[in-house]
Structure 1
Amino acid sequence: MDMRGAGHDLESIIDQAIALLDDIGLPDLSMRRLAGALGVAPSALYWHVANKQTLLAALADRIVAEAAPADGVDTTALALRDAILAHRDAAEVVTSSAALGLSSGAIRERFHAAYTRAGSSDPARAAAVAEQFLLGHTSLVQQRIQAATIGAYDANPRDVDTSTRAEFADGIAALSML
């Protein structure tokens, strides 16, 4: 079945992929499973995405775009953190897309704008460091949440995000002194 005939576009594909990501996680998110959820043949997805990594980059961009608008460095960082932690395995999706240069670069752009508004002497450098800190932190938090879910980390999975929020804010504040 042709994706155009099924009424799907890239946005609806991303919507369904995020729903699957939240429901089953990244390891089980396949092009075949996504096509099945959309009611189309797997080959129909390739009208809109070249491959799974391209799909994941689109997911990463959508997740980052969900971050609430913010002006300050700290509010920008917390908004990006919240957007990433709102979705299961999103830290891995966003980090891998950034590492491979497939994402839009919106994280760095948002940090660059915030550091520029804050009067940073080197907003590009500050943005790069803040992006790396954000991606590392959210990866650590999501790994702890997953481990707590299966009993391998001594915490309630719902409390891991909350218990690490202040540490993250302290880290961003320390980076702002650069």
Structure 2
Amino acid sequence: MANSLDDVLNGALRVLDKYGMEFFSMRRVASELDVQPSALYHHVENKQTLITLMAGKIVQRVIAEADLAAVAHQLRAAMLAVRDGAEVVATATAFRLGQSELEAAIAEHSTPDIARTLLIYVIGHTQATQLHRQASELGLIPLDADLDDSFDRGLRIILN
């Protein structure tokens, strides 16, 4: 039975969870799905396209609303739920891979500049948080208990 695009995305997210973004590759995704790497290209043009689709899947349940703090917390939670989720979303956002539907939806409740600034802050802080937590789990550094509170303080500064 052939894999669907959703199968490829789910397999890619499993590979991300196992290996992290540093060791994420099309070959690993193909291996996860027990297919040849060329089979993936029936669904995605290249790795960048796959990362863009993964980013979309990570943030798909975030609902843009007038309460921008709630949106920011939803986005952060969605990215924290996936190993290196913030890095995936950051990559897609930084290279402007695909249209950012979430950014456009947030802009409908604010302005394009506020939406962009909010996204960059949430992605950046979440990426730093994930990296910090991973280093802490490896015993390289002590866990900073202030990560959540510092996120809220920064968010208040931006929204004010």
Structure possessing the higher radius of gyration over alpha carbons: 1
Instruction: Give the deviation of 1:71 after TM superposition.
Output: 4.1
Instruction: Give the deviation of 1:37 after TM superposition.
Output: 1.2
What CA distance in whole angstroms lies between the structure 1 residues aligned with 2:122 and 2:113?
14
- Normalised to the residue count of structure 1, the TM-score between the two structures is 0.82
- Normalised to the residue count of structure 2, the TM-score between the two structures is 0.90
Equivalent residue, structure 1, for 2:157 = 174
Deviates most, 18-27 or 139-148: 18-27
CA separation of 1:128/1:44 partners in 2, compared to 1, >3 Å: closer, same or farther? same
Equivalent residue, structure 1, for 2:130 = 142
Structure-to-structure mapping, 1:22-37, within 5 angstroms = 22-37=17-32
What CA distance in whole angstroms lies between the structure 1 residues aligned with 2:49 and 2:31?
19
**Aligned residue identity for 1:138:** T
- What RMSD, in angstroms, separates the aligned Cα atoms of the two structures? 1.8
Q: Percent identity?
A: 32
Equivalent residue, structure 2, for 1:118 = none
Runs of 4+ aligned structure 1 residues displaced above 3 Å come to: 68-71
Q: Which runs of 5+ in 2 are unaligned?
A: none
Q: Indicate whether 1:98 and 2:81 are aligned.
A: no
Q: In the alignment, which of 128, 140, 164 is matched to residue 147 of structure 2?
A: 164
What CA distance in whole angstroms lies between the structure 2 residues aligned with 1:78 and 1:126?
16
Q: Which runs of 5+ in 1 are unaligned?
A: 1-5, 116-122
Q: In the alignment, which of 61, 81, 85 is matched to residue 56 of structure 2?
A: 61
Q: In the alignment, which of 114, 122, 133 is matched to residue 121 of structure 2?
A: 133
